[in-house]
Structure 1
Amino acid sequence: MDHTPNANYSRPSLLSAAQGESSPLVLRLARTGIWSACYFVFYFLQQLAELFAPLLLIAGVLWKALPSVVGSLSHVAVAADPQARDAIGNVAAAIPQNIVVAGHDLTASGLIWDGILLMGLAAAGATLATIAGKNV
C-alpha cells in the first residue's frame, strides 16, 4: 500500500481553481464592461421611473377627482349667488376628459395606469441592476 503522508485529498479551493483558469484579460475586461453597461442602463431606467411614476399617478388622481370636487362646489353654489353658480358651471365644463399631446391621447385613468406601470418598471430595474451589480 503506497500512501503519501502529506497528501491532501480534499477538493481544491476556489482560489486555486480560479488561478487555474487562465482566461485572457481582454475577455474579463469585456465581461466587466458589458455588465457595467447593463448596470448603468437598468439603474438609469429605475431612476427615471421613480421620478415620473409618482408625478403621473398624482396628476391622474387629481385630474380624475377634479370633476367631483367641482361638482360638489356647484351643489353648494346652488344656494349661493347665481353668478357664482354659472362661473362654477363654466369651470366644470372647461375640464377636459382627454388631452391630445403630440398625437397621444392622455386621460386621467391612463395617467394613473402609466404611473403604476412605471412603479413596476422601477422595481424591475432595481432587481436587474442588483443582478448586474453582483456580476460585475
Structure 2
Amino acid sequence: MMRPRVNDTGSNPNVIAILRMALWSVCYFVFYFGQQIAELLAPLVLILGIGWALLPHVVDAITTSLPNADPQARDVMNHVAGNIPQQITLAGHLMTPSSLIFDGFLLMALAAIGATISALAARNM
C-alpha cells in the first residue's frame, strides 16, 4: 500500500492545492464583481455630473438668446436657472457636479484595476 506524499509541513499537497484554488477563486470573484459594478456605474455618474455642470449654462444661453421672447417666459427661465442647486447632500454625502465627474473617472480606474487583478487571479488559478 502506498502512502500519500507529505510535504515539509506535514499536510497533503492536494489540500494545499485546493486551498490555493479556493483563495484565488474568491479573489477572482471579488475583483470581477467590483469591475462589473464599476463599469455599470462609471458612465452613469460621469454623464450625470457633466449634465449637471452644463445645465446652468444651457438654461442661461436659452434665456439670453431670446431677446424678443415673452417676458413671462424669460422670467420662468431665469427662475429655473436660479433654482438649479450647486450641491446636494444625499444620505450625508455632499455631491457637486465636479465631484460626480471625478467619481466617474475613479470608477473607471477601479474597473481597470479590477480587470487587471482578476486576470492575475485567473492566471494563478
TM-score (norm. length: structure 1): 0.82
Q: Does 1:54 align with 2:43?
A: yes
Q: Quote the residue 2:60 is aligned against.
A: 71
Q: Does 1:40 align with 2:40?
A: no
Q: d(CA) in 2 for partners of 1:77 and 1:59?
A: 27
Structure 2 SS opposite 1:78: coil
**Structure 1 position 77, deviation (Å):** 3.2
Q: Does 1:126 align with 2:115?
A: yes
The equivalences for 1:1-136 within 5 A come to 24-136=13-125
1:88-130 Cα distance to aligned partner (Å, 9 max, x none): 0111011000000011100000000000000000000000000
1:6-52 Cα distance to aligned partner (Å, 9 max, x none): xxxxxxxxxxxxxx996521111000000000000010000000000
Identify the range of structure 1 (100-109 vs 20-29) with the bigger mean alpha-carbon deviation. Answer: 20-29
Q: Which runs of 5+ in 1 are unaligned?
A: 1-19
Q: Quote the residue 1:15 is aligned against.
A: none
Give the alignment's Cα RMSD to 1 decimal: 1.5
Q: d(CA) in 2 for partners of 1:78 and 1:87?
A: 14
Report if aligned partners of 1:77, 1:84 keep a CA contact under 8 Å in 2.
no
Structure 1 SS opposite 2:95: strand
Count of residues in correspondence between the two structures: 117
Q: d(CA) in 2 for partners of 1:24 and 1:110?
A: 50
1:56-108 Cα distance to aligned partner (Å, 9 max, x none): 00000000000000000110233211001000011101100000001110000
| Identical counterparts, % of pairs | 52
Q: Which runs of 5+ in 2 are unaligned?
A: none
